[in-house]
């Protein structure tokens, strides 16, 4: 009986976690919540999906150093490594202290080595 309760409890926890992990909200998606608190690795499809709507999280990153940001977004690229889309929207940023987040349309502007702004560059 005790083994059955433990087994059913484990199955319940796993199913509950799977359901929460797939909910489409920055308030409930377990993968996103774990990542933004630094408890799991960077997954671009998860992290960047909610970055636009999670304004308070984005604002909380202002003032962080490049080292701290690189721990969160492990794929940061300078303008020299930009893809075609990024090159199209980045020319006026050439003199700025700026990094792209992977091959996405998200960029991070730094001031004196600290995050000044994280924003979406789109046409």
Domain count, the chain: 2
* Tokens read off for 40: 């799991």
Domain that holds residue 90: 64-123
Q: Cα–Cα–Cα angle for 37, 43, 46, nearest 5°?
A: 80
Residue-wise pLDDT tens digits, 53-85: 899 999 999 999 999 999 999 999 998 888 888
pLDDT value of position 50: 87
Residue range 92-105: mean pLDDT, rounded:
84
Same domain, 69 and 55: no
Residue-wise pLDDT tens digits, 3-51: 778 877 787 776 676 665 556 666 668 888 888 888 888 889 888 988 9
95: which strand partners? none
Number of C-beta neighbours around residue 100 at 10 A: 26
Q: Enter the pTM of the model.
A: 0.75
Label residue 82 exposed, middle or buried (CB < 10 Å: 0-12, 13-18, 19+): buried
Same domain, 45 and 7: yes
Same domain, 3 and 17: yes
Same domain, 3 and 35: yes
């Amino acid at each position: 009986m005790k083994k059955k309760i433990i087994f059913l409890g484990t199955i319940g926890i796993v199913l509950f976690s799977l359901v929460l992990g797939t909910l489409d909200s920055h308030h409930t998606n377990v993968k996103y919540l774990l990542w933004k608190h630094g408890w799991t690795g960077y997954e671009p499809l998860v992290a960047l999906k909610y970055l636009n709507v999670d304004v308070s999280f984005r604002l909380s990153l202002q003032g962080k150093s490049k080292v701290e940001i690189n721990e969160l977004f492990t794929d940061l690229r300078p303008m020299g490594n930009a893809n075609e889309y990024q090159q199209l929207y980045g020319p006026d940023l050439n003199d700025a202290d700026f990094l792209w987040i992977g091959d996405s349309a998200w960029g991070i502007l730094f001031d004196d080595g600290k995050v000044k702004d994280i924003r979406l560059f789109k046409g």
